[in-house]
Amino acid sequence: MNILCLTLGFFVFIELLSRILESKAIADTAVSSITESNYSPSTFLCWARILTVIIALTLVTLTCLLGGNAKLILGIIIIFMVVRVFCLKVIIDAAEASVSSRLNKVLAGEDFTNSSFIFYFSAPDLREPTHVDMWIEPLSSLQKSWFVVLRERSHLNFFKSSERPNAVFIENGNQLASVLPENADLIFYANNGQKNRFMMNAKPSATHIQLLHGDSDKPPSYSPLSKNYDYLFVAGQMAIDRYRNHGIDISADKFKIVGRPQVRSIETTATPKSIKTVGYMPTWKGFFEDTQFSSLDRAGTITRTVVQRLSGANLLFKPHPMSFKDPSWKQIKRDVLSQISQNGRVASPSETPFDIMNASDVLITDISSVMIDYLYSGRPLIVVLPKGFDDSDAWRYPSLAAAYLVDADLNNLEDIITLAATEDPMQSKRMEIRNQAFGDIDKRPGEAFKEVCLNLLNKNYK
């Protein structure tokens, strides 16, 4: 009986392991967010798996009941494993071999052939496709069919949600030429990823549009690579000036001022009479010195000062998602939690940056797109300057003119917090810079974006 139980347990283990490996192979060869496009084993293979297990279990059980011949049981086990491994290999090979045919079938479907434009996305360093997420609502408002082309398989699973558009995964850049439907000659991008050039080379006749994933004074917002696109969608004149001031020569007709459609989620209010909630949203530590703007390494001191200076106020802490990859993140989080355990909390993953902005009477952040987005709210903004910042650098960061500035060593942090929370002498200047940052300030957020996109779709430009 012990031999029977052990053998049956072994069969179950092998079957479960095989099913796990099969599922992994199917996931690793997925071509789109449409579940039906996944590889599915043939009816013959499905029955072969089931019958293999049933026959093996039956033979072992009979053998044990008839005396339990060890050699015979071992032979059954070996035969079972050979057959099961064979079935597993056939499924894995078939899943890999069918990738091209399944992808072609998906792209031949109406959901793709009728698309008016596509969104191309490559960001190997991002765990989640946040650059796409921020543009889903504005692009969907066009009421046109569209889909996303992904270059990293890790992002594909996120598009199986009904809240996101359909997506296809293209591993080989040489296949991109066959991806774009004939009717879709607009391609949107949200970053200057290295793989973008593959799509631009594959479809040189298409209209390539750079959206970026935020408007800020950081180098990505005036990258020379932006020259490669037919159009640059920018929030306002400040974004256009940013390129010119940094010596990036781009023809004026390439710029389209569309505002920031995303700020429709931000509540605009006057300066609050009292500060009940302070938001702290530091950016992440960049890979290189010229992108190092984060105050994350001083988060413990900043949160402690806020709690001590603004008695009774709550602090909401939401770092940039890339901060979680920082080797010091766990210690930073412990430092922050020790300061705000009674007067605040760390934002949950489900809370968006706009949720934190709307809950905040004043926001502390770094030089990043967060500061410009929050500028739209009209409420006081405090920016922690990067280390090594000098007054001669101010021209590089025009949006700082709208903020209360905290020195990198935090020596003036207490005074700045008090000033922003009481007198708020920056209010009028803040509104002036706000109008420079958002070129569609006289329209509802998203209106200008929609107008420009529809003009492009209707070929009213170019």
Q: How confident is the model at residue 286 (pLDDT cuts 50, 70, 90)?
A: low
Q: Judge contact between 310 and 275, C-beta under 8 A.
A: yes
Q: How confident is the model at residue 461 (pLDDT cuts 50, 70, 90)?
A: low
Per-residue pLDDT for 70 more than 70? Answer: yes
The residue that leads in pLDDT, 380 or 462, is 380
Q: Quick one: pLDDT at residue 68?
A: 66
Distances (CA, A) of 431 to 93, 356, 426, 434: 62, 21, 9, 5
The Cα 155–Cα 130 span in angstroms is 10
Q: Quick one: pLDDT at residue 217?
A: 87
The residue that leads in pLDDT, 131 or 53, is 131
Mean pLDDT confidence for 216-226: 90
pTM of the model: 0.84
Cβ neighbours for 324, distance < 8 A, ≥ 6 positions apart: none
Q: How confident is the model at residue 116 (pLDDT cuts 50, 70, 90)?
A: very high
Torsion, Cα of 72, 73, 78, 83 (10° steps): 100
Q: Quick one: pLDDT at residue 306?
A: 93
Q: How confident is the model at residue 345 (pLDDT cuts 50, 70, 90)?
A: very high
The Cα 44–Cα 41 span in angstroms is 8
Residue type at 398 in one-letter notation:
P
The residue that leads in pLDDT, 273 or 26, is 26
Q: Where are the beta strands (DSSP E) in 272-412?
A: 277-281, 314-317, 344-346, 362-365, 381-384, 404-406
Distances (CA, A) of 285 to 133, 291, 331, 413: 22, 8, 15, 21
Mean pLDDT confidence for 52-74: 81
Sheet harboring 146-150: ordered strands across? Answer: 167-169, 146-150, 117-121, 186-189, 207-210, 231-234, 255-257
Mean pLDDT confidence for 38-55: 89
Per-residue burial over 116-134, b = 16 or more CB atoms within 10 Å of its CB, e = otherwise = bbbbbbbbeebeebbbbbb
Q: Percent of the chain, pLDDT > 70? A: 97
The Cα 282–Cα 215 span in angstroms is 16
Q: Judge contact between 346 and 337, C-beta under 8 A.
A: yes
- Mean residue pLDDT of the chain comes to 90
Per-residue pLDDT for 36 more than 70? Answer: yes
Residue type at 294 in one-letter notation:
S
Cβ neighbours for 36, distance < 8 A, ≥ 6 positions apart: none
Mean pLDDT confidence for 458-462: 69
Nearest partner of 156 among 32, 321, 23, 28, judged by Cα: 32
Q: How confident is the model at residue 462 (pLDDT cuts 50, 70, 90)?
A: low
Per-residue pLDDT for 332 more than 70? Answer: yes
Q: Quick one: pLDDT at residue 327?
A: 84
Q: How confident is the model at residue 11 (pLDDT cuts 50, 70, 90)?
A: confident
What's the pLDDT tens digit per position in 138-157? Answer: 999 999 999 999 999 999 98
Q: Quick one: pLDDT at residue 460?
A: 64
Per-residue pLDDT for 125 more than 90? Answer: no
Mean pLDDT confidence for 318-331: 86
Per-residue pLDDT for 181 more than 90? Answer: no
Distances (CA, A) of 363 to 382, 425, 431, 453: 6, 16, 16, 32
The residue that leads in pLDDT, 270 or 132, is 132
Domains by residue range for the chain, with CATH = 2-99 (no CATH), 109-260 (3.40.50.11720), 266-437 (3.40.50.12580)
Q: Quick one: pLDDT at residue 285?
A: 80
Cβ neighbours for 132, distance < 8 A, ≥ 6 positions apart: 119, 121, 148, 164, 190
Nearest partner of 158 among 123, 130, 125, judged by Cα: 130
